[in-house]
Amino acid sequence: MTRKRKILIVCGTAIATSTVVALKVEELLKRAGIPAELKRCMTSEAKSASKGVDLIISTTQVPDVNVTVLSGIPYITGMNIPKLEQEILDILNQLPE
């Protein structure tokens, strides 16, 4: 069985844009058959919340963390979504089981 991927969605308040991004990422992962656990947090919580996650997708600047960070802005603007989704899938599929 595939290990559940842990993804952190970060935005300024953990309310508006992170909700939009989380819904889009959930749809993507469901289509791809990738089990995942998504959590949302505020930018100020990102460093401590990043422990143990496989990927961060953010709509704001994230402080230095030891996790790959992708910009979730394409989900907000509607531009370059296929590129972002391919990056997400590539990163998650390269992780060890």
Answering whether pTM is above 0.85, one says yes
Q: What is the rounded CA–CA span in Å between residue 41 and residue 83?
A: 24
Quick: pLDDT tens for 14-38. 888 999 999 999 999 999 999 999 9
Point out which residues pair with 70 in neighbouring strands: 57
CB neighbours of residue 58 within 10 Å:
23
Amino acid 1: pLDDT: 46
Q: Which residues of the chain fall short of a pLDDT of 50?
A: 1
Specify whether 41 is catalytic.
Answer: no
Amino acid 83: pLDDT: 98
Amino acid 63: pLDDT: 85
Q: What is the rounded CA–CA span in Å between residue 2 and residue 92?
A: 11
Q: What is the rounded CA–CA span in Å between residue 34 and residue 60?
A: 25
Q: What is the rounded CA–CA span in Å between residue 48 and residue 72?
A: 20
Catalytic residue among 11, 21, 28, 49: 11
Domain parsing of the chain, residue ranges: 5-94
Amino acid 96: pLDDT: 86
Amino acid 17: pLDDT: 92
CATH topology of domain 5-94: Rossmann fold (3.40.50)
